A = this chain, B = another copy of it.
Amino acid sequence: MSMDAVFKALADASRRQLLDRLHDRNGQALGELCEGLKMSRQAVTKHLAILEGANLVATQWRGREKLHFINPVPINDIAERWIGKFERGRLAALSALKKNLEREKP
Interface stretch (choices A30-38, A41-49, A58-66, A70-78): A70-78
Bound-state CA distance A70–B30 (Å) is 40
For the complex, count residues of A whose C-beta is within 8 A of B: 24
Q: Nearest Cβ in chain B — how far from A62, in angstroms?
A: 20
Q: Interface on chain A toward B: helix, strand, loop, or mixed SS?
A: helix
10 CB-based A-B contacts, threshold 8 Å: A4-B13, A8-B11, A16-B82, A19-B86, A23-B89, A70-B86, A72-B86, A76-B87, A76-B90, A83-B83
A interface residues with partner B (beta carbon < 8 Å): 4, 7-8, 10-11, 13, 16, 19, 23, 70, 72-73, 75-76, 78-79, 82-83, 85-87, 89-90, 93
